[in-house]
Structure 1
Amino acid sequence: MRKLKSMGKIVKDMRYTIYSPLDGQPCADHDRATGEGVQPQEYTIIKMEVVPPFPAKMGVLEGRNVFLAAATLRPETMYGQTNCWVLPDGKYGAFEINDTEVFILTERAALNLAYQKLSRVPEKPTCLVELTGYDLIGLAVRSPLSFNEIIYALPMLTILTDKGTGIVTSVPSDAPDDYMALNDLKAKPAFRAKFGVKDEWVLPFEIVPIIDIPEFGDRAAEKVCLDLKIKSQNEKDKLAEAKKLVYLRGFTEGIMTVGEYAGRKVQEAKPLIRTKLIETGQAIIYSEPEKKVMSRSGDECVVALTDQWYITYGEPEWKKLSEECLSNMNLYSDETRHGFEHTLGWLNQWACSRSFGLGTRIPWDEEFLVESLSDSTIYMAYYTVAHFLQNGDMYGKSADLLNPAQMTDEVWEFLFCGGPHPKSSDIPSSVLYKMKQEFEYWYPFDLRVSGKDLIQNHLTFSIYNHTAIMSKDHWPRGFRCNGHIMLNSEKMSKSTGNFRTLRQAIEEFSADATRLSLADAGDGVDDANFVFETANTAILRLTKEIAWMEEILAAESSLRTGPPSTYTDRVFENEINIAVKMTEKNYQDYMFREALKTGFYDLQTARDEYRFSCGSGGMNRDLVWRFMDVQTRLITPFCPHYAEFVWRELLKKDGFVVKAGWPTADSPDLKLKKANKYLQDSIVLMRKLLNKQILGSKKPNKKGAPVTALPEDKLKGLIFKSTVGQAADFKRTQKLCMPFLRFKKDEAIKIGAEAMDLKLPFGEIEVLNVNLDLIKRQLGLEEVEVLSFTDPDAEAKAGSLASLLRQNAPAPGNPTAIFLPR
């Protein structure tokens, strides 16, 4: 921080900041139970002077300057006031602001003001009398800029007392809520009577046009309410839509039609009008949290005006460097990058000090400590030389090689910032250069792993501070951000009992099953979901895998020897190669769920498919051994205890699997993978057709007897593949085009543009013929024949089932089959 101070990037000023009254200090994001990222929202409080005489309940205020304090974000609209609003059931109070002025507002707003130097007793609101909204209805007030000399406080039922001051200005020309609420009062005598509202407080007041908006005119609220057919102030959704339409267009395109800034755009006039109201004492600045913020001590936070040190994040040149750094970083997901880009867009000066608590004293102003999120944003650099200072003891309790006093600013400048050799230092030059060598070896760091909630503060600070202090050669290269963790699809919570510590999970499920389930819980910045069922299934799956390997090793002599040679051998070997390559990439991308899928689940599926596909020849011994070797290495990061047991006790390998290295693999044959997928999908399709044909043959005809007697054994299968576009009589296959197009559309959604290739990368007949034995075994057929659908003899061979063949015509990559008694 001293370096940032010397660069002019830390300043001291009175600023508005989120503050915990109970803790007596600013409440940074890490100090909050709820409301991370929430910033102060600045309003203008319009001082509406209450006109005497006061009602009896307010008699204690006689002789004081009493104001209804209305918080607004639109001071430029005050010309059009027709009344002000209060919540009838709302709780208010008359609070002393200074020796002469009293504000009527909610206690919550008074507390915020008290911490903004606007209370007679600092940080303690003084309430002279408690009031309700009913006590305020009918109060006559003089409001700044209003064309109506006197306006009245009227009831509005939709006011929120946890936002603003509970007193709301009313400008029905430009605020749809105000327009509808005033309309309701004017149109409903019973409504007025319910709240004791006199006619003269409401009926004489008409809309005062003040802003002209293209397409909406100078009575925008009225027009949009009529356009949207809003009938009542209770239609919240429609009114919210109306406000969006009017407020945005009003600010960006509206033209003032009244006042000294008539003819100027609203966005130009707004700050000028606000400044004049404040300078003339008709308004004050007021801030409160954008949303509710609770500190970790259970205190609702306010906005306080505090004297603090600020880091000037957002400074244009500094921001430009940080954006350059970010553009060259590996962030592993688009969501993370968008999060950083968004934060760089809004992040501005940040309070980096606090009054008390744990932390480091600010070197040049020991009255303050460094705020936790601003502290240690480049601590990774310290780790590169920590062993010189702590002699291998993480707490620094052993005899140090160096003492802290020797680590002067000049030494740190030399080590981290390319500064000159610190001639005044008594640290031996050999040690200094060794420390610098360590830093240069480890920096820049390639990766820092942290939670997604720190993107909006600590991690962005880290980028800023690295770019300020260090050269481009030492800027961060990568952040991998993760989400929070849920338990069984629900938020972890001690209060509800949905909670496990890591130790509890290990004791309940074992270390490896816990690790596997954590990997399976999810990737990216989405919240991960640890599921008990997954952990229990992992125990069974790992146990079952050990049992299978023990069984295979016991019967090893029955395995087929020699090099892998069959089609199924080649497919399985290719799947192993794919698993090695894909899992390596997933680990590199820190996509652990995907790594578990490709390195364990998919590989086991390939092994099971291989077992079922080998037939009487059996599995190849070398391939089975390679599978066990590769799977053990791929799963080691997730299940190290399991992997070491398999490596040493079952496979009888020397050393430790964790030191065995990543398995080697040939480049995957994607053509072979597609051919095998085609084969497996075709077998599934043919099984469905066979079942359908068997069931269909058992349906009785009108006389109650089966149509045919198709046996369930000794069947012959005729497999037909399509040659659409190659037939001499194209009209014969023209009707296949639409089903084929639908098929290709679905395939394109699944695998992308590759689906639109004009030709399959393999020959369908070749793949089917090579695997006739597999097809027969899988379907329980005695004989299988592969034919072209356009073969002149196709329908003849189909015999009585020719019509069924025509109904289920094949398409490229999607064969069909019929089944006959042999």
Structure 2
Amino acid sequence: MAVADEIECSSLNVGVKRNRKILGVEVSMHGAGMDHGMEWDAMWRSAGGVLESEKMSSNTDGAKSHARRDLLLKIQSEAQTCWEESKVFEAEPGNGLPGPGEKFFGNFPYPYMNGLLHLGHAFSLSKLEFGAAYHRLRGSNVLLPFGFHCTGMPIKASADKLAREIQQYGNPPVFPAAEDDSSAEVADDSQADQAAAVAPDKFKSKKSKAAAKTGMQKFQWEIMRGFGLSNEEIAKFQDPSHWLTYFPPLAKEDLKAFGLGCDWRRSFITTDMNPFYDAFVRWQMRKLKKMGKVVKDMRYTIYSPLDGQPCADHDRASGEGVQPQEYVLIKMMVIPPFPPKLKALEGKNVYLAAATLRPETMYGQTNCWVLPDGNYGAFEINETDVFIVTARSALNLAYQHLSRVPEKPTCLAELTGNDLIGLPLKSPLSFNDIIYALPMLTILTDKGTGIVTSVPSDSPDDYMALQDLITKPALRQKYGVQDEWVLPFNVIPIINIPEFGDKSAEKVCLDLKIKSQNDKEKLAEAKRMTYLKGFTDGVMIAGEFNGRKVQEAKPLIKNKLLGEGSAVLYSEPEKKVMSRSGDECVVALTDQWYITYGEAEWKQKAVKCLENMNTFSAETRNGFEHTLGWLNQWACSRSFGLGTRIPWDEQFLVESLSDSTLYMAYYTIAHHLQNGNMYGQEISSIKPEEMTDEVWEYVFCDGPAPNSNISPALLSKMKQEFKYWYPFDIRVSGKDLIQNHLTFSIYNHTALLPEHHWPRGFRCNGHLMLNSEKMSKSTGNFRTLREAIEDFSSDATRFALADAGDGMDDANFVFETANAAILRLTKEIAWMEEVIAAESSLRGGPPSTYADHVFANEINIAVKETEKSYNAFMFRDALKSGFYDLQLARDEYRLSCGAAGMNRELLGRFMDVQTRLITPICPHYAEHVWQKILKKEGFAIKAGWPVAGTPDPTLRSANKYLQDSIVLMRKLLQKQESGSKKPKKGAAPPPSAENKLTVGLIYVNEHYDGWKEQCLRVLQSNFDSQARSFAPDEEINEALRNCFIDRETNFKQVQKLCMPFIRFKKDEARNVGPQALNLKLPFGEINVLEENLELIRRQLGLEHVEVLPVFDGAARAKAGKHASVLDKNPPSPETTTDTFRSAPLDSVIVFVYEDIVFSNHNGVRRILWPLDLEHESQHAVAVFVSTTAIAPLPPFCLVVITARRVCSWRAKPLQLWHGRFQCTYTMPPWLEHHRRHRGRQLA
């Protein structure tokens, strides 16, 4: 709901003469800035008028109004219609290759089409859209295409699930009553339960992230109903192809409503439904295989048992980016005779299988750990061997060819940890012939096998658990642990770490004063301290590899264990992974097709590509570098889902991330192939079967001219268009795709295309939150793109997206920001309409006043800063400088102009510049202003970047000094006035109206002196202007001691004053350079203040203001009793010292007139009187709400005007009117003559 429409706002006063009708009578009003404008608006309302800017928010029936939002929707529709009719976004290549900046080709990862686009899609897409719009505005030839991804298993899985529900429950289905079965919910280990209270308008759900991602309601039918579909329509989604024809067109409609500047002729969907794209992917895969970059191999991969195939990132409900974690499984043989619980296993080789990441530590084993109340099983590995492990790890083993029955664990006995305590074991590499299974209370059974081998010399956890059993007989008794299983076993030194010695775990546990195995935080710190040091600095002091560094010995010991059959390799997911089908994934050893990412020569090319790319942030570059470091072979084939068949092995499909690495090139020629139809099924001059590998090679890889039925002219045209647009300039994406899709794209570009076509830039962003909470369907904190546009309009949505954030951290879309944008944009439209309507009343001529120059400078600064932000793709900063800051500058200008009013030429430039700067973010609004209000030719989106002069930083600094000074003066004045209103007991009463504070004396010192001067000179001599760095603090302090400060005063006392000043100036110098250390400001402070005396007087409500040099004796005398303030708080550059006092009356002048006309005409009260005896016919008008002086009078005089005879239309008695006026002029002769003849002076 666009609540901004409920907010009432007063008219934005333009500071010009405006005519309004009050009760049908036109009244002339001269605005004198914001304050006066507000007075006139108040008069207008009191007379029953309605402001133009309030008409949109008025609502006669009392209901909430959406008029402002609806106005933006209307403007949006008009602009989009105009754009579509003019085909402004259809991009055609120029002649020849483009020069730098002449073209801009940006793209975005096509979204998956199993639902509607949401604000998360729009957020990432907005970064591309804003950047493309900026380059279009600057005159670049811009290509922004958009495709739709349908490859993979989610659509097929959902369609099949829907078919099963209809088969089981009917059409429409009648589902069984819902059961509150929390065990059926999908857990999510990445999110802790939130203890915070939920807002009353928010729905709190127990569903996890996995449930949210898949919409994991119990039934697929209910998910489809959530899209607002009828029962009849839902049934059609049993056919996967219906998803492909239903959701992509809806997404296209939503993106058009969003205002996306897309060339829709180039859109396409993936899968073999689009025969042209299908041919493109087949060519790509064939070429990779020919280059030896696609191989068939046995590899560990994340695998969905339910789906019966590998589960890549895009197939996961949770656990994106999770990789297989490899362990070494140590076979710890149980020594016969077996206890009763294991009798059924006699004749078998029974092992407790412990998973370890540190095989080099096996020399130091003293025992084995089990979880007393943990559940274990004895699982058959082959005909002779049995592993005792958890059921979860047994399932992983079964998919790694370590089960007698492949993919099905066979449990011969169910056991608990208590059943295993005391088992005698023979463990490989251990110096102890026999070790025992002992209880450990902190084992996690969702990691490893639930069996842990103990090395207390190097593992803090093992050390503390063993110490607990050694030192606590009651603990041994509780778990039936016999003394001989524990007490004879001592810590065995096996690794020497220089920092910790040869018993690192013991030393660190003692140093950290860890009390028991339950002290989790300290144990985590102990592990952090020892594990890395052990690997990088440790040296083996035991075993076959004695004397070798640990990092050298580790792989050798691992291979020794595996070679002897004392251990096997075992893998499991690093973290929990849930497939979109709802099952927990395992790691499987599968024989399938892989792309050989990570191969040394290929990786070298990928690294080179990354080095030459613009990643827009160090964090993004680090993410790519990290991924290139670990990425290895990638399973590229699937047996289930939608997509393109692997050309040479058609039982498999190309998986969804492997058909999506080079399609940016496909955009460049898609319109030639598909004739504007996203499915590639329109009649075209090219047939799909004509797109042979030779044709693709010719177009994309400078291959020889193919023998083809396609006309040579068309082939050449496609090739030239590809060469014009490629390489693409930027690809915008969420940061989660760095670890797969984006890195895959780098690899494939370097393999398939020549170097001059490699990508130029990737820009990544964080995820989007809504109102500071994670966006989630399950909690109701969710918005589709369509809903956002309907609620706020496209431009307000885009405004809030730009304001949400730009970095790799998660951004925040705030509904209040979107609502405020509705109000801001519509108010700005109303204000500009007012300005244009009253244009003739604006001050003419070129900009000439101080306020004019400041405002013009702020416009130039806004242009330059916004340009810089757009170029860096920092759109929040662009919004700040190009809209927020510019608005503030305009408002300050209006206030500064006062009665003189604003300059017509400058306001015209402001409106022009502001419209252009906001165009990339709010293009519909900009188009309306450009064409309908400013009456400009052409389109705003192609209007060109505004020309700006060089910003004057000195003028900006001077204005900041002025504004800051006014703020400080106002605070001081308020403090003095409020202090005088609350006198202490026995003190003088508060001042009367006659001696109100009306005079301001501003004392200025334009040169640093005293200890501040000395500090600055010391800093100047110790500052490196090129590096913007200072000498060490010790040298600066020594220099201070050697200056006059130390000789003439107590250095320590003065140092307390110096240090804060020095810190401030050092920070300032690091930011702005050596000018921050100058002894004077770069502008004359007295000149600035004197030039703006009227503004200061008006803003502070004073009658008289003087700017005085502090070292002038006569000036100091004017401070009177306040002179002591100048010594206590002396002024210095950037800081004035101000005093305020009441003005004494020099005289009282009473004018008594015979003929004064008082009028109360149509609600406007006027007094008319003659001011010049020689021109009796001339009269002046003073409106009572004004504070303008009636005539030049002596300083500080009380003027009383009365009359002996009153002429009033309503015959009301004229009240005595008096007021105090400041005047710097002497009494003119005509007024003195007037006083003698027509009035009399009273003392």
- Does 1:465 pair with 2:748? yes
CA distance in 2, matches of 1:787, 1:345: 68
Higher RCO (C-alpha 8 Å, min separation 6): 2
Report 1:787-798 matches (<5 A).
Answer: 787-798=1108-1119
Q: Cα offset for 1:747?
A: 4.2
Q: Partner of 2:818 in structure 1?
A: 535
Q: Partner of 2:862 in structure 1?
A: 579
Give, as a single letter, the amino acid of the residue that structure 2 aligns with 1:688.
K
Q: Partner of 2:1126 in structure 1?
A: 805
In structure 2, relative to structure 1, the CA distance for the partners of 1:752 and 1:12 (3 Å cut) is farther
- Does 1:636 pair with 2:887? no
Q: Cα offset for 1:367?
A: 3.0
Q: Cα offset for 1:701?
A: 4.6
CA distance in 2, matches of 1:761, 1:384: 54
The CA deviation string for residues 272-331 of structure 1, in whole angstroms up to 9 with x for no partner, is 222222222211111111122222222211111011222222233322222222222222
Q: Partner of 1:520 in structure 2?
A: 803
In structure 2, relative to structure 1, the CA distance for the partners of 1:607 and 1:186 (3 Å cut) is same
State the SS of the aligned residue for 2:1118.
helix
Contact kept in structure 1, 2:998 and 2:1140, CA below 8 Å: no
Q: Partner of 1:775 in structure 2?
A: 1096
Q: Cα offset for 1:794?
A: 4.5
The TM-score normalised by the length of structure 2 is 0.64
State the SS of the aligned residue for 1:92.
strand
Q: Partner of 1:438 in structure 2?
A: 721
Contact kept in structure 2, 1:713 and 1:780, CA below 8 Å: no
CA distance in 2, matches of 1:254, 1:333: 36
Q: Partner of 1:204 in structure 2?
A: 488
Q: Partner of 2:436 in structure 1?
A: 152
Report 1:281-300 matches (<5 A).
Answer: 281-300=565-584
Give, as a single letter, the amino acid of the residue that structure 1 aligns with 2:751.
A
The CA deviation string for residues 108-164 of structure 1, in whole angstroms up to 9 with x for no partner, is 100110110111111111112211111111112221122222211110001110111
Q: Partner of 2:1138 in structure 1?
A: 817
Contact kept in structure 2, 1:287 and 1:303, CA below 8 Å: yes
Q: Cα offset for 1:377?
A: 0.8
CA distance in 2, matches of 1:246, 1:90: 28
CA distance in 1, matches of 2:335, 2:946: 87
Equivalent of 1:306 in 575, 590, 600: 590
In structure 2, relative to structure 1, the CA distance for the partners of 1:694 and 1:377 (3 Å cut) is same
State the SS of the aligned residue for 1:45.
strand
In structure 2, relative to structure 1, the CA distance for the partners of 1:153 and 1:742 (3 Å cut) is closer
The CA deviation string for residues 336-367 of structure 1, in whole angstroms up to 9 with x for no partner, is 22222222222222222223222222222323
Contact kept in structure 1, 2:424 and 2:437, CA below 8 Å: yes
Contact kept in structure 2, 1:292 and 1:301, CA below 8 Å: yes
Q: Partner of 1:591 in structure 2?
A: 874
State the SS of the aligned residue for 1:222.
helix
Equivalent of 2:759 in 443, 457, 476: 476
Q: Cα offset for 1:742?
A: 5.4
- Does 1:322 pair with 2:606? yes
CA distance in 1, matches of 2:992, 2:1132: 29
Point out the more displaced range, 728-737 or 244-253: 728-737
Report 1:216-231 matches (<5 A).
Answer: 216-231=500-515
Contact kept in structure 2, 1:701 and 1:707, CA below 8 Å: no
Contact kept in structure 2, 1:390 and 1:401, CA below 8 Å: no
Q: Cα offset for 1:198?
A: 1.5
State the SS of the aligned residue for 1:23.
coil
In structure 2, relative to structure 1, the CA distance for the partners of 1:217 and 1:650 (3 Å cut) is closer
- Does 1:766 pair with 2:1087? yes
Point out the more displaced range, 606-615 or 458-467: 458-467
Q: Partner of 1:420 in structure 2?
A: 704
In structure 2, relative to structure 1, the CA distance for the partners of 1:370 and 1:768 (3 Å cut) is same
State the SS of the aligned residue for 2:643.
coil
Q: Cα offset for 1:107?
A: 0.8
State the SS of the aligned residue for 1:455.
helix
Q: Cα offset for 1:703?
A: 2.5
CA distance in 1, matches of 2:700, 2:363: 59
Q: Cα offset for 1:88?
A: 0.8
State the SS of the aligned residue for 2:446.
coil
Q: Cα offset for 1:500?
A: 1.0
Give, as a single letter, the amino acid of the residue that structure 2 aligns with 1:523.
D
State the SS of the aligned residue for 1:121.
coil
Q: Partner of 2:691 in structure 1?
A: 407
Report 1:38-53 matches (<5 A).
Answer: 38-53=322-337
Q: Partner of 1:166 in structure 2?
A: 450
Equivalent of 2:540 in 234, 245, 256: 256
In structure 2, relative to structure 1, the CA distance for the partners of 1:165 and 1:611 (3 Å cut) is same
State the SS of the aligned residue for 2:651.
strand
Stretches of structure 2 lacking an aligned partner (at least 5 in a row): 1-284, 1015-1043, 1144-1243
CA distance in 2, matches of 1:62, 1:496: 54
State the SS of the aligned residue for 2:514.
coil
Give, as a single letter, the amino acid of the residue that structure 1 aligns with 2:988.
A
CA distance in 1, matches of 2:1079, 2:1004: 20
- Does 1:378 pair with 2:662? yes
CA distance in 2, matches of 1:227, 1:729: 52
Q: Partner of 2:92 in structure 1?
A: none
Point out the more displaced range, 239-248 or 100-109: 239-248
Q: Cα offset for 1:387?
A: 2.0
Stretches of structure 1 lacking an aligned partner (at least 5 in a row): none
CA distance in 1, matches of 2:461, 2:642: 48
- Does 1:102 pair with 2:423? no
Point out the more displaced range, 149-158 or 517-526: 517-526
Q: Cα offset for 1:654?
A: 4.2
Contact kept in structure 1, 2:1011 and 2:1058, CA below 8 Å: no
Q: Partner of 1:612 in structure 2?
A: 895
Give, as a single letter, the amino acid of the residue that structure 1 aligns with 2:966.
I
Report 1:49-68 matches (<5 A).
Answer: 49-68=333-352
Q: Cα offset for 1:727?
A: 12
In structure 2, relative to structure 1, the CA distance for the partners of 1:248 and 1:514 (3 Å cut) is closer
CA distance in 2, matches of 1:254, 1:664: 64
CA distance in 2, matches of 1:142, 1:726: 83
CA distance in 1, matches of 2:1131, 2:535: 63
Q: Partner of 1:16 in structure 2?
A: 300
CA distance in 2, matches of 1:769, 1:493: 59
The CA deviation string for residues 18-37 of structure 1, in whole angstroms up to 9 with x for no partner, is 11111211111122222222
State the SS of the aligned residue for 1:457.
helix
State the SS of the aligned residue for 1:361.
coil
In structure 2, relative to structure 1, the CA distance for the partners of 1:113 and 1:139 (3 Å cut) is same
In structure 2, relative to structure 1, the CA distance for the partners of 1:729 and 1:198 (3 Å cut) is closer
Q: Partner of 1:502 in structure 2?
A: 785
Q: Cα offset for 1:93?
A: 0.8
Give, as a single letter, the amino acid of the residue that structure 2 aligns with 1:614.
C
Give, as a single letter, the amino acid of the residue that structure 1 aligns with 2:577.
V
The CA deviation string for residues 740-777 of structure 1, in whole angstroms up to 9 with x for no partner, is 54553564577576634554222212211111111111
How many residues are paired up?
821
Contact kept in structure 1, 2:1007 and 2:1080, CA below 8 Å: no
Q: Cα offset for 1:580?
A: 2.2
CA distance in 2, matches of 1:673, 1:4: 59
State the SS of the aligned residue for 2:650.
strand
- Does 1:648 pair with 2:952? no
Q: Partner of 2:943 in structure 1?
A: 660
Point out the more displaced range, 582-591 or 472-481: 582-591
Q: Cα offset for 1:802?
A: 1.6
Point out the more displaced range, 562-571 or 795-804: 795-804
Point out the more displaced range, 451-460 or 503-512: 503-512
Q: Partner of 2:675 in structure 1?
A: 391
Q: Partner of 2:1176 in structure 1?
A: none
CA distance in 2, matches of 1:450, 1:511: 21
Runs of 4+ in structure 1 deviating by more than 6 angstroms, as ranges, are 707-710, 726-736
CA RMSD in angstroms, aligned pairs only: 2.5
